[in-house]
Amino acid sequence: VKLQQASFTISAPDIRRLPDDSGIEVAFAGRSNAGKSSALNALTHQKSLARTSKTPGRTQLINVFEVADGQRLVDLPGYGFAKVPLEMKKKWQKALGEYLEKRESLQGLVVLMDIRHPLKDLDRDLIEWAADSELPVLVLLTKSDKLSQGKASAEVLKVKKALKSLNADIKVQAFSSLKKTGVAQATQVIGNWLSA
């Protein structure tokens, strides 16, 4: 699997308008500003595959990138932006829950969290949903360059410990799009999912 070959396929306004539910899909989710777009760009070695620093909380689309025939990366809208109306938040959470439960092609979920503010309520909800659906999870603790290596490792351990009780397939990795920390490890995990 060569993530570098990812190319933009389609933007879907909601989960119902995603491509056919066949082949294999890996989804990316995280709070607005967690560094999801930057991570997608780093993982695909492309400067602007996913747009970075969009206005947070704007109506967002689900962006689909094809890595190869029947292998897709799915960029889910960022969540948790305070100014989004509650009604919209609820709608999106319901749609996200449905997607995680029902999407047959979904083989893995990458959850991005700022290493300095991990495991907010919605992050936990999302990871618990995935665990309940027996979906493997890769947690990327982003912007790890903002902490010393020692503090970053301690944070990885803390998050691993906090998620241990879920008894699920959850990997936790420090990640920096800036320094390329964790890019090789994440590429390996995602590549394994896509070629399963």
Residues that bind ligand GDP (CB under 6 A): 30, 32-38, 52-53, 78, 142-143, 145-146, 176-178
Tell me how far, at minimum, the Cβ of 189 lies from ligand GDP, in Å. 18
Tell me how far, at minimum, the Cβ of 137 lies from ligand GDP, in Å. 17
Residue 64 and residue 12 in contact, taking contact as beta carbons nearer than 8 Å: yes
Nearer to ligand GDP, 63 or 105 (CB): 63
Nearer to ligand GDP, 151 or 166 (CB): 151
Euclidean distance between CA atoms 87 and 84, whole angstroms: 8
Tell me how far, at minimum, the Cβ of 178 lies from ligand GDP, in Å. 4
In whole angstroms, how far apart are CA 24 and each of 14, 124, 137, 166, 196?
19, 24, 15, 25, 8
Residue 180, SS3 per DSSP: coil
Tell me how far, at minimum, the Cβ of 150 lies from ligand GDP, in Å. 18
The pair of structure tokens assigned to 125 is: 């909800």
Nearer to ligand GDP, 117 or 164 (CB): 117
84: Cα within 13 Å, side-chain hemisphere: 20
Beta strands in the chain (DSSP E): 7-12, 24-30, 62-68, 71-75, 106-114, 137-142, 170-174
Nearer to ligand GDP, 30 or 108 (CB): 30
